[in-house]
Structure 1
Amino acid sequence: MENLSDAAAFATELKNTLIHYHSIEDDKWRVAKEVKDVTVWKIPSEEFSGYLYKAQGVIDDIVNSIIDHIRPGPCRLYWDSLMTSMDILEHFEENCCVMRYTTAGQLFNIISPREFVDFSYTVGYKEGLLSCGVSLDWNEKRPEFVRGYNHPCGWFCVPLKDSPNQSLLTGYIQTDLRGMIPQSAVDTAMAGTLTNFYGDLRKALQKT
């Protein structure tokens, strides 16, 4: 497992990686999926042989409420249809932890349930928040799950300048699902999962 003796330095490195992704020029991205209120793009990942996905859409709520639903905690498990369990394994400070979570099978179980162990960090970014994470090489494994690996991922959430009760949510996801899965199935699953994520999040926020 990565050395987390200096969790603050590890968190800062993760944050800077996400800020780097956030600065990639628009013309470098290729549209992977587009629905009326969410667009998903992709580029080859710098971390592994798959893709880095970027998703973006406007959410009708304030930044703090949105990020509270995304970062590790009971809110996330309540509404995220893909997540089937979540446990906080270790706390470092209020906005920094290690979590283990599992996901449901996808594409008629062509992609079987996965388990992830992620370091998670939430920090202020400009006038909004960034909630980011990266998988750890956690030794304990459960045989009923394939262990997936999230390369640096994160969600930037900032208020719209002309409408402070609305926020622009931009996510960067690069997940190595591992196992024997065709790349075409991974592409279909990732783009669809990201657009569904926005829909599920909006429904959850409307109920609060």
Structure 2
Amino acid sequence: MEPYRAAAARAAEQMQLYREDLSGWRSCKRTNEISISWKPSTEFHGNIYKLEGILPAKPEAVLRCIKPEDGGLREKWDKNVKELLIIERIDDNICITRTITPSALMKIISPRDFLDVVQIKQDENGTILSAATNVEHPECPPAPGYVRGRNYPCGCFCSPVPGDPGKTQLLSFFQSDLCGNLPHSIVDSFFASSLAEFYSNLAKAVTTLVA
């Protein structure tokens, strides 16, 4: 149990560092609703992406849409999540998950699965942090038919918007190694489009799926 708790703690610490790090980010997409930027990851030979936006719901409602649950809401709205399974619950705030993703970009990217430890916690200001990173688990070895990808410290901060408690400031970080023999151009194109879709679908979900 302790190695998983340590990995979860490190993921949460890295998320705080990413949140405070304002240097080196390069914009790759900006609209009236979102800002997406990136820079080289220090965890692997790929990029870390940052997504910023405002969601039309309280942080608790956003959490209900993103928190890991067997057959939960995440499978209903996130088109990049085909199935999400809880492999083991470490405690009330930490669990091990297996996320199965569908093929993408007209099947250029084949189905993947990711095994992560996920921690959810809330600070005194009402900000909810969901932090995750890759782990291994004896009950979930790599499976035939899927490329085992690796998520490096990633997740999101859901913060109350000052003066408007009915809205949430979303700050998300993604850094995933899809593994396999994929050209960097394909991977970069996939993340730029999928992050925008992630925000759009989450914004709809917090108003339609959460009572």
**What secondary structure is seen at the aligned counterpart in 2 of 1:154?**
strand
Q: Aligned partners of 2:145 and 2:157: how far apart in 1?
A: 33
Q: Distance between the aligned counterparts of 1:173 and 1:5, measured in 2?
A: 25
User: Deviation at 1:178?
Assistant: 0.4
Q: Does 2:35 correspond to 1:12?
A: no
CA distance 1:8–1:143, shift in 2 (3 Å): closer
Do 1:149 and 1:178's aligned partners in 2 also have CA atoms closer than 8 Å?
A: yes
Structure showing the higher strand proportion among its residues: 1
How far apart, in 1, do the equivalents of 2:205 and 2:9 lie? Answer: 30
Alpha-carbon distance in structure 2 between the residues aligned to 1:10 and 1:179: 24
**Aligned counterparts of 1:182 and 1:13: Cα–Cα separation in 2:** 30
1:10 Cα deviation (Å)? 3.1
The Cα of 1:6 is off from its aligned counterpart by 4.7
User: 3-state DSSP class of the match of 2:7?
Assistant: helix
Residue pairs, 1:34-183, within 5 angstroms: 34-73=30-69, 74-125=72-123, 126-138=125-137, 140-183=141-184
Distance 2:79 2:6 in 1: 33
List per-residue Cα deviations over 1:36-84 (Å, max 9, x = no partner).
3111100100101100100010000000110121120211112111111
Q: Number of aligned residue pairs: give it.
A: 204
- TM, length-normalised to structure 1: 0.93
Partner in structure 2 of residue 32 of structure 1:
28
Is the Cα–Cα contact under 8 Å of residues 115 and 134 in structure 2 kept in the other structure? yes
Aligned identity (percent) is 31
- RMSD after superposition: 1.3
**Could you list the runs of 5+ residues in structure 2 that have no partner in the other structure?**
none
Aligned residues of 2:4 and 2:117 also touching (Cα < 8 A): no
